[in-house]
Amino acid sequence: MPMVEIKHLRKEYKDKPEPAVKDLSLELEQGDIFGFIGPNGAGKTTTIKMLATLLIPTAGTALVDGIDVVKNPEKIRSIIGYMPDFLGVYDDIKVWEYLDFFAAAYRIPKDRRPQIIDDVLALTDLNVKKDSYVESLSRGMKQRLCLAKTLVHDPKVMLLDEPASGLDPRARIEIRELLKELQSMGKTIIVSSHILPEMEEFCNKVGIIERGEMIVAGDVNTIARQVRGHQNISIGVVDDIERAAAILQGMTDLIRDVKVTNGLRQLNDADGGEGRGQTLQRESFSTKGSVLQVGYIGEPDNEYKILTTLVEAGIKVRAFYTPETDLEDVFLRVTKGQVA
């Protein structure tokens, strides 16, 4: 049974002609980390709020762990952890009191709460702030505290609406590490974001939503292949690069497009919106030797044929791998940049 099963979900807001979410379907298995990606106004928050039982769908169904979010909201709230896109303000309350408050709201018995509070503080690396006032925390710490709060009742499914928004790079990395930890604990997570390159590192599935419609959804690499029509493969060779390139160029049934690079990849963002314009430089692997980039167009799982051919021809292959999918690129291709 899928952990999350959304079918034809739709949400219309009063006095808004177009639905915020229309005919959205999605299935997630236990342990999936789903990156929910889309431009402003696409319908991410609306979808997440329907799953969190805070908005009633106009049509369609959503089940979490087999439970209907509309028919049984009480039960749903006990198995989900929802982190909203905007944090509430809590004055004159200490970190542990804040967590104790939510633990009490989840009806966790008083004698069990101190241990749970210590556990979630340890997980979010906030132990030292236990007796600090919430308002004295930095934004990144507040964000982590909010995550700690969503964990007090040990939810099966976490709904995180832009957990890393407004954070500096270090704080974003901390959130990312935390999400990886939750992933290793077997949680099913839906996380929305605009910051795409961050998602690909820990999401096994992604969906791109635009104007209330899921344009593509599924496994990260499959989506990239759908969009691009090919899968990038990087091949590092010790020497003989020209001969290697010639062999690859001859494999027209498996490969299209052979490029020689120096092992560094540059992602350049053309338009100047938020978080754009900067050049990300990633080292795919050591720059020693040369790297060939090919576009693989063969059947899935037949990539080894390329490797076999090279090795049999005596080429000294020192690396052969599929680089991380460049989600930013996929995103820009499938969305037309229209905002609902």
Binding site for ligand ATP (CB under 6 A): 13, 16, 20, 38, 40-46, 85, 340
Does residue 143 belong to the site contacting Mg ion (CB under 5 A)? Answer: no
Smallest separation, CB 52 to ligand ATP (Å): 12
Smallest separation, CB 332 to ligand ATP (Å): 16
Binding mask 36-75 for Mg ion (x = CB under 5 A): --------xx------------------------------
Q: Is 333 left (phi over 0), alpha (psi -120 to 50) or beta?
A: alpha
Euclidean distance between CA atoms 241 and 225, whole angstroms? 26
- Name which of 255, 263, 230, 229 is nearest 307 in CA terms: 255
Nearer to ligand ATP, 81 or 212 (CB): 212
Nearer to ligand ATP, 24 or 248 (CB): 24
Nearer to ligand ATP, 15 or 299 (CB): 15
Binding mask 78-117 for Mg ion (x = CB under 5 A): -------x--------------------------------
| From the list ligand ATP, Mg ion, none, partner contacted by residue 112 (C-beta under 5 to 8 A by kind) | none
Nearer to Mg ion, 117 or 146 (CB): 146
Which amino acid is located at 45 in the chain? T
Nearer to ligand ATP, 85 or 154 (CB): 85
Asked if 195 contacts 284 with a C-beta cutoff of 8 angstroms, the reply is: no
Q: How far is the CA of 334 from the CAs of 15, 21, 284, in angstroms?
A: 29, 18, 25
DSSP codes, 297-336: -S-TT-THHHHHHHHHTT--EEEEE-PPP-HHHHHHHH--
| From the list Mg ion, ligand ATP, none, partner contacted by residue 63 (C-beta under 5 to 8 A by kind) | none
Asked if 198 contacts 176 with a C-beta cutoff of 8 angstroms, the reply is: yes
Does residue 183 belong to the site contacting Mg ion (CB under 5 A)? Answer: no
Nearer to Mg ion, 264 or 339 (CB): 339
Euclidean distance between CA atoms 253 and 11, whole angstroms? 46
Token representation of residue 318 = 């020192």
* Binding stretches for Mg ion (CB under 5 A): 44-45, 85
